[in-house]
Structure 1
Amino acid sequence: MNRHRGFALLGGLVGVVALVCAAIFGAYGLLDAGSAGTGGDSANGTAATSGTGGPRGQNPPPGRAAPASADSWTGTWATAPAGVETDAPNGHPGRSIRNVVHTSIGGNSARVTLSNLYSPGALVIGHASVAVGAGGPRAVDGTLRQLTFGGRAAVTIPAGGQIISDPVALRVPYDGDLLVTLYTPLPGGPVTYHPSALQTSYLADGDRTQDSSGTPYTEPSRVWRYLTAVDVQNRESRGAVVAFGDSITDGVGSRTDTNSRWPDVLADRLRGRNMGVLNEGIGGNTVLLDSVRDRKGESGISRFRRDVLDRAGVRTVVIDLGINDILRGQERDPARITAGLRELTRQAHTHGLRVIGSTLTPFGAHRGYNPVTESVRERVNAEIRAGGIFDAVVDFDRVVRDPYAPHRIRPLYDAGDGLHPSNAGYRAMGRALSLDLLENKAPAKL
C-alpha cells in the first residue's frame, strides 16, 4: 500500500467514525444541549425561543417543533406544574412514563407540551408517543402515533424550558382518555410534575413508547410527569375555558379515575358546544404566596401567564382561589387577597379574556377554622359579590354550604375533611356555571 492510498483509507475511516458519532449524539439532541434554550425565561417556564422554534418564516432549530398558528389549536387537557418529584432526583432514566389524561374537546390532530420547568438540568426525551386509551395503560388498536420535535424523534429540553411537539394526525375523542408516553434514556434533574393527578398513570422499564398492549406497564402512579398540555385541531371549536384555582379546582376529595372534578362536570356540559376545559388547579396554591418547594406551585399571580394566557384557544377563565391565602398563608387582610384577584383579572383583560370569579367555599369543619379565618373569608366573599373584581361571579359558597350552618359544607357535599367537596359537591359546582356566561367573549369594563 503506498502512502497516498494509506492516507485516503485513514481519511475515509475518520469520516465514517465522525458520521456515526454525530448520529448517536444527534439522536438524543446532545450536540447543543448546553446552548439550546440558554438564557431562557424561567419565570414563564419557556426557553428563549419559547420551545417552539425560531422566528416565523425560518426553519426551526434541530429538535424543536415549529410554531403553530395560535388560533388553529384548542386545549383539550392541561395541568399546572407544581414542583419537583422529591424521590426522583435524577428523573427516571431507562424507563418509560405513560401519562393517562382525560380529554374535553375532540379533534383530528394533536400536539403535546412537555415541561422541564423546575429542573436545574437538561431533560433528554429519547422517544415519545400518543395514543387513544383503551383502559389502564392499553391503547386502542391502530391509534398509537410516534411524536416528533422539529422532525426528530429525540429532543433535549433545557433546564427551565418547555417544548411543543409536532402535530400528529389522530382522531382524538371527546371525553376520552389519551396515553402520552415518554422514554427518558439518561439521568436528568428532578422531575417537573403535578402531584395530585387523581388519575392512574404508569411506568415501565426500557423504551416502551410503541407498546400498545400496556403489558410492560406494571407500576401504577398517581402523578403526571413532564406533560402539561394536550391541544387538538377542531374546525368547529369555540375555544377553551381555563379553571384556575387550588385543590378544590384540582379535584381533591373526588374519587380517583372517575373524572369527577368540577371542571370535568363542566366539560361534559360543554361537549355539544365544542369548547375545551383546562384544569389549572394546584393543591395548596394561593393568590399571593410562592410555594414551589412545598410542591404547591408559584403564586396565582406569578403563574397566571404560563398556566392561563399561554394556553391554546383560551376565551374564558374561571378563578376559584384564595382559601389557602387564609389557611396556609395566614393572610388576615382581605383587601390583600381581593387586590390579588383584581390583578389576575387585569392580566386576563390584557389578552381579551373574560373572567368569572368564585366566592370562597366554607371550611367550618376544617382544622383551620376559627372566628378570625371565617371573618376574612366572609369579607372576601362580600367584596366578590359586590362586583368590581371579576366580570361575573359564580357563587360556589352558596352552592355547597349547609343552609342550616352556612360556615360549613353541606354533609352530602363534604368529602370528609370539612374543606374539600365530594363527587356530589363537585357535580353541584360544575352545574352551577352558566354556559351562556362562559361563551360571552367580551370582558367587562371594571
Structure 2
Amino acid sequence: MVGAGRIVVAMLVVVLGAGVGQGTATAEAPARAAVDTWTGTWEAAPSGTATAHPGASFRNVVHLSVGGSATRVRLTNRLGTAPLRLDAVTVALRETGADAVPGSMRTATFNGSGTATIPAGEDLVTDVVPLAVPAGADLLVTVHTPDDSGPATYHRAAGQTNYRAPSGNWAADTDGSAYTTTTTSWYYVTGVDVLDAPAAGSVVTFGDSLTDGNGSTRDANHRWPDRLAERLNALPPYRRLGVLNAGISGNRLLREDVGPSALARFDADALSRSGVRVVIVLEGINDIKGTPNATDPDAFEDAYRTLVTRAHAHGIRVIGATLTPYGGYSAYTAAREAVRQQINASLRAGGPFDAVVDFDAAVRDPAQPQRILPAYDSGDHLHFNDAGMRALADTVDLTALD
C-alpha cells in the first residue's frame, strides 16, 4: 500500500506530466498552442498490484464519456516497488474484441520518445495523441512492458474484458489475434483526457464497489457513473461534463483496505484530474461493515469535512451521497445499521457537503428500509443490478453539478 507522502509525489508528477503533454510536439502532431483545454473522459483508480508479465502486451478497453479532437493517457506505477519501463504505448479506437478500427492506431510518446520509465510511486502523462474520439467510444490503450519491473499497478475489478498477448510487442497491431488471454482488470492505465471537448469540465464519482460497478452487467457499461454520463451527454455543451469513475471495490473512507483510503487517495484520484468541477462522494459502507468496523459517526463527518476542505482549496464542489442499505448481507447487524442511519441523518440535515444526493431513499425497500428494493438487488443484498445502478444515476440532480 502507498502512504500519503507517495500520493503527493504522484500528484506532482501528474501535474508536471500534464504540462509536458500539452506543450510537446511529436513526429505525429505539430506543436499546439501554449494553453490547451483538457477534459477528463475516463478514469480507473489504482486499487492494488498484481503479478507482472514481463514481455507481455496489455490491451485495455476503456469506455469514454465525452469526446474531443485529440487524447492523452495517464499511465501509472503508483503502487509499484521498482521503476516501470514502457517499451511501447499505443491508442486506437476499438472495432470489436481486441481489434482496432483500421487507420486509428496511434503511437503515444513521452517528450517525443516512444519509450519511458515511470518511477515507483508515480504516474506519467503522454504527449498529445493525434486521435479524435467521439463521446461513448471504446478506446484501446495498449502497453508493452519488456522487463520485470516488479508488481504491476492495476485496477482489479474492471467489469470489462481486457486482453493480453503473453509475449512480444504487439502494441501497434490493429489485428488483435495475438491477444490470446483475457483479464477483467485494467493494467497500468489510470486515465484518459480529451482535447477541446464540447463540455464544461468533468465530474469525479468517488467511492467503493457501488461506484466501481460490482453487480452490474460485465462489458455493458451499466455502472451508475456510465448512466450519469449518458444523462450529461444529453445536455448542451455548456452544461455537459465528462465523467470519471474513481470507485475502488473494497475501498474504505477511514483506513487502508483495498487501495489507499479515501482520505489518502483523494488528491491523486479526484483533485488532480483534468477539468474537475465537482466530486460526488459515496464512501463509508465498508468502514461500517468491515473488520474492524467503525462505530463513531463523528469520525465519518470529520473525514467528509476534510475531503470538502481540500476540494474547496482547488475550487471544486463536493456532493455527498447517503449510504445505501445492506440488510440481508452477511456482515449486517442492527448496531452497524444504527451507525449508517446516524450518518445519513447528519448528511440530510446539512452536513459538510455542498449538496446531498439521497441514494438511500432512491433504492431502499419502503417495507424494509434497511434493505435494497428487490428489483434493484444484484442478489447479495449489498450491490446493485443494472436497474439499481440506473436508479442511483437518475437520482443525481444535474443542476447541482452546474
TM-score normalised by structure 2 residue count: 0.92
Q: Deviations over 1:265-292 (max 9, x none)?
A: 000111133310000001111111012x
Residue equivalent to 2:246? 280
C-alpha displacement of 1:55: 8.8
Say whether the 8 Å CA contact 1:71–1:312 is kept in structure 2.
no
Q: Deviations over 1:55-106 (max 9, x none)?
A: 99xx98xxxxx99978610000001101111xx1xx2111100010100000
- Paired AA for residue 7 in structure 2: A
Q: Does 1:42 align with 2:6?
A: yes
Pick from 357, 364, 371: which aligns with 2:320?
357
Alpha-carbon distance between aligned partners in 1 of 2:382 and 2:57, rounded to the nearest angstrom:
36
Alpha-carbon distance between aligned partners in 1 of 2:18 and 2:104, rounded to the nearest angstrom:
31
- Paired AA for residue 385 in structure 1: R
Higher relative contact order (Cα pairs below 8 Å, separated by 6+ residues):
2
Residue equivalent to 2:41? 76
Runs (5+) with no aligned partner, structure 2: 25-30
Alpha-carbon distance between aligned partners in 2 of 1:143 and 1:427, rounded to the nearest angstrom:
32
C-alpha displacement of 1:305: 0.3
Pick from 251, 275, 297: which aligns with 1:313?
275
Q: Does 1:394 align with 2:360?
A: no
Q: Would you say how many aligned residue pairs link Structure 1 and Structure 2? A: 386
Change (3 A) 1:436 1:117: same
Pick from 79, 104, 111: which aligns with 1:143?
104
Alpha-carbon distance between aligned partners in 2 of 1:70 and 1:92, rounded to the nearest angstrom:
38
Residue equivalent to 2:262? 300
Change (3 A) 1:412 1:47: closer
Change (3 A) 1:73 1:149: same
Residue equivalent to 1:443? none
Residue equivalent to 1:220? 182
Change (3 A) 1:343 1:297: same
Alpha-carbon distance between aligned partners in 1 of 2:329 and 2:100, rounded to the nearest angstrom:
41
Alpha-carbon distance between aligned partners in 2 of 1:122 and 1:359, rounded to the nearest angstrom:
40
Query: RMSD across aligned C-alpha pairs, in angstroms?
Result: 2.2
SS in 1 for 2:131: strand
Pick from 241, 248, 263: which aligns with 2:210?
248
Q: Does 1:119 align with 2:83?
A: no
Pick from 334, 344, 351: which aligns with 1:381?
344
Alpha-carbon distance between aligned partners in 1 of 2:17 and 2:274, rounded to the nearest angstrom:
17
SS in 2 for 1:339: helix
Pick from 255, 261, 265: which aligns with 1:289?
255
Alignment identity in percent? 46
Residue equivalent to 2:27? none
Alpha-carbon distance between aligned partners in 1 of 2:286 and 2:11, rounded to the nearest angstrom:
31
TM-score normalised by structure 1 residue count: 0.83
Who wins on radius of gyration, i.e. which is larger?
A: 1
Alpha-carbon distance between aligned partners in 2 of 1:68 and 1:103, rounded to the nearest angstrom:
25
C-alpha displacement of 1:186: 1.0
Pick from 284, 290, 296: which aligns with 1:333?
296
- Paired AA for residue 46 in structure 1: A
C-alpha displacement of 1:236: 2.7
Say whether the 8 Å CA contact 2:199–2:241 is kept in structure 1.
yes
C-alpha displacement of 1:42: 1.5
SS in 2 for 1:168: coil
Alpha-carbon distance between aligned partners in 2 of 1:228 and 1:161, rounded to the nearest angstrom:
11
C-alpha displacement of 1:119: 1.2
Alpha-carbon distance between aligned partners in 1 of 2:241 and 2:373, rounded to the nearest angstrom:
31
Change (3 A) 1:45 1:254: farther
SS in 1 for 2:379: coil
Change (3 A) 1:68 1:400: farther
Q: Deviations over 1:116-158 (max 9, x none)?
A: 0111111110011000111211111111100100000011111
SS in 2 for 1:134: strand
Residue equivalent to 1:162? 123
Which 4+ stretches in 1 moved above 6 angstroms? 66-71
Change (3 A) 1:184 1:55: closer
Alpha-carbon distance between aligned partners in 2 of 1:279 and 1:352, rounded to the nearest angstrom:
20
Pick from 65, 73, 92: which aligns with 1:104?
65
Alpha-carbon distance between aligned partners in 2 of 1:75 and 1:276, rounded to the nearest angstrom:
6
SS in 1 for 2:388: helix
